[in-house]
Amino acid sequence: MTETSTIDSARRTGELLPRLSRIVGTGHVLTGGDLTRSYESDWTGRWSGRCLAVVRPANTAEVAAVVAECGDHRVALVPQGGNTGLVGGSTPDGSGSQIVLSLTRLNGIGAVERESGQIPVGAGVSLTALQQAARAAGYDAGLDLGARDTATVGGLAACDAGGLKAVRYGTARARIVGVEAVLADGSTVSRMAGLLKDNAGYNLPALLIGSEGTLAVITEVLWKLVPRLDARATALIAIDSVQQAAQIAGPLMASLPSLEVLELMTETGIRVTLDYLDQAPPMAVTPAWVLVQCAARTDPQDELIEALDGIGVAGQAIVAVDAAGTERLMRIREGHPEAVNHGGVSTKLDVGVPLRALGRFLEALPTVVERAAPGARLVAYGHLGDGNVHVNVLGPDPDDTTVDESVLELVAGCGGTISAEHGVGRHKAAYLALIRSAADRAAMRAVKHALDPDEILNPGTVLA
Ligand code: FAD
Ligand code: MLT
Ligand code: ZN
């Protein structure tokens, strides 16, 4: 870059913040460490950077104007919802030149449409707020995860989040029937009619869901609710080996129509989490625990016990007898991410393998990790029914990529994915070639180039 163009670009950037203030109001353009810090680091402390400013638009028109202005100034934007993402996609890089576009003020929730069971929700609405609105109307959101109080609907859509109930209701993609979004040139696209069938050309919502803020800024979604089921039965099964845990997933899914949660915990994680929660083990700690929850209109406990009996594990299981007991069992699983975070900054991977390869993967994992990082502590847990394992390794420097490389190669060898539900972010952009062919990656780059030729939206995320 020549000296003149550097000065020119600095002058133009200097003009940008006053212009953005005119769009969103001075109080919603935040600069200076004290105001911006919480937007610049993630929940784990693994990802942090520095931004030019945090900009907080209040509605779609303001988002569109901000994006257009940043495009004119060639200043990159990092869309951010609740900043609970775990792959470095929601925080700025270290350059100090990016704008964090916070969507939390887009927090309007519409009324449930009775004919369709759909509800329009602003991108900044938290998952908890969506769940509460749904339940008050006799429905449920059909998606749940530990970061529910902070994670936003826009973030769930952008990451195609999964969570605890994906085994029954699918990931965010299955719940979202409409999207409104602002493209990189500042134009707005809207598919909010709530049509369950709409084959008129390319499916833009399908493309934007899971695009991690790299193709558009999602401003509103139309969410398809599920029936509210108030009767629950919960069991915890002690399993002798991770392979056996993998083997019971299929039979449980086949024999339990009311199954809503099917989770895996393994020995080190169970111990670390019980310590963190200061909770006594509810039963003997074995190499694996499987958590099963059923939900129905009427008490599904008999169905659950019959299924456990049918696959020969009833004798190794405990069943929660009341709400407090249920909460205690669920808390052990949900406490895993916090317990790991408490132990330091971990190498955090979120992989998925086909269920037929899950036993093989889980068996090989400790050896692969030990070889990559001798003496490190492996905490593996996840969404058993989805073949989705969260691999957390405490010990090695998180910038050391040896564990990432070894585990992701193992995953690729099992026919799996380097990201099941958290997304690629910045963390895994360099590993995409392990599971996506050259043709596949070229098609992705072509889509990115067509929609965002100047790389204004979240550069470095998904595609390195
Ligand atoms: P952010 O973290 O703010 O952003 C995440 C990504 O989405 C970034 O790339 C960002 O640029 C983009 N983005 C955010 N909003 C928009 C928007 N409006 N338009 C375009 N792009 C946008 N995830 C799961 O899938 N399953 C789990 O079980 C799960 N459990 C978790 C438990 C804990 C304790 C924590 C901390 C996280 C968990 N997560 C889980 C990860 C995280 O909560 C999800 O990825 C969630 O979808 C992120 O939402 P967010 O609003 O915080 O998004
Ligand atoms: C979970 O299932 O607990 C989350 O996806 C978060 C994590 O992997 O730690
Ligand atoms: Zn998860």
Please write the tens of the pLDDT for every residue from 374-415.
Answer: 999 999 999 999 999 999 999 999 899 999 999 999 999 999
Cα separation, 93 vs 47, in Å, equals: 9
Both tokens of residue 55? 């900009």
From the CA of 153, the nearest ligand is 1
The pLDDT, as a whole number, for residue 6 is 57
Per DSSP bridges, beta strands 216-224 and 118-122 are antiparallel
Q: Whose CA is nearest to atom 5 of ligand 2?
A: 163
Q: Whose CA is nearest to atom 49 of ligand 1?
A: 155
Q: Is 79 in the pocket of ligand 1 (CB under 6 A)?
A: yes
Q: What is the mean pLDDT of residues 174-187?
A: 98
277-302: per-residue pLDDT in tens? Answer: 999 999 999 999 999 999 999 999 99
From the CA of 151, the nearest ligand is 1
Distance 151 CA to ligand 1 centre (A): 6
Q: Is 65 in the pocket of ligand 1 (CB under 6 A)?
A: no
Per DSSP bridges, beta strands 231-239 and 226-227 are unpaired
**Among 40, 47, 80, 390, residue to substitute to test ligand 1 (most atoms within 8 Å of Cβ):** 80
**Among 38, 41, 145, residue to substitute to test ligand 1 (most atoms within 8 Å of Cβ):** 145
3-state secondary structure 211-263: CCCCCEEEEEEEEECEECCCEEEEEEEEECCHHHHHHHHHHHHHHCCCEEEEE
From the CA of 337, the nearest ligand is 2
Both tokens of residue 254? 């086949």
Q: Is 263 in the pocket of ligand 1 (CB under 6 A)?
A: no
Q: What is the mean pLDDT of residues 419-442?
A: 98
From the CA of 82, the nearest ligand is 1
On the question of pLDDT at 3 being above 80, the answer is: no
Cα separation, 107 vs 109, in Å, equals: 7
The pLDDT, as a whole number, for residue 345 is 97
| Pair 120, 222: CB distance under 8 Å | yes
On the question of pLDDT at 5 being above 60, the answer is: no
| Pair 163, 382: CB distance under 8 Å | no
Report phi then psi at 452, rounded to 5: -145, 65
Residue 308's alpha-carbon distances to 76, 242, 402, in angstroms, are 53, 17, 40
DSSP state of 91: S
On the question of pLDDT at 206 being above 80, the answer is: yes
**Ligand 1, atom nearest to 383 Cα:** 28
Q: Whose CA is nearest to atom 9 of ligand 2?
A: 337
Half-sphere exposure at residue 7, Cβ-oriented, CA atoms within 13 angstroms: 3
Mean pLDDT of the chain: 97
Both tokens of residue 323? 């709400």
Cα separation, 314 vs 303, in Å, equals: 12
86-110: per-residue pLDDT in tens? Answer: 999 999 999 999 999 999 999 999 9
What's the whole-model pTM score?
A: 0.97
Distance 392 CA to ligand 2 centre (A): 10
| Pair 382, 390: CB distance under 8 Å | yes
Confidence class for position 13, pLDDT limits 50, 70, 90: confident
Distance 2 CA to ligand 3 centre (A): 47
Confidence class for position 1, pLDDT limits 50, 70, 90: very low
The pLDDT, as a whole number, for residue 12 is 64
Q: Which helix (H) or strand (E) segment is 155 a member of?
A: helix 153-159
Distance 7 CA to ligand 2 centre (A): 45
DSSP string, 263-327: EEEEHHHHHHHHHHHT---SS---SEEEEEEEEESS--HHHHHHHHHHTT-GGGEEE--SHHHHH
Q: What single letter denotes the amino acid at residue 32?
A: G
Q: Whose CA is nearest to atom 7 of ligand 2?
A: 337
From the CA of 42, the nearest ligand is 1
Q: Is 82 in the pocket of ligand 1 (CB under 6 A)?
A: yes
From the CA of 179, the nearest ligand is 1
Report residues whose beta carbon is within 6 angstroms of any ligand 2 atom: 146, 336-337, 350, 390
**Ligand 1, atom nearest to 154 Cα:** 18
The pLDDT, as a whole number, for residue 321 is 92
Cα separation, 464 vs 106, in Å, equals: 29
Q: Whose CA is nearest to atom 22 of ligand 1?
A: 213
| Pair 269, 240: CB distance under 8 Å | no
| Pair 244, 303: CB distance under 8 Å | no
DSSP string, 25-51: -GGGEE-SHHHHHHHHB-TTSS-B--E
Distance 380 CA to ligand 3 centre (A): 11
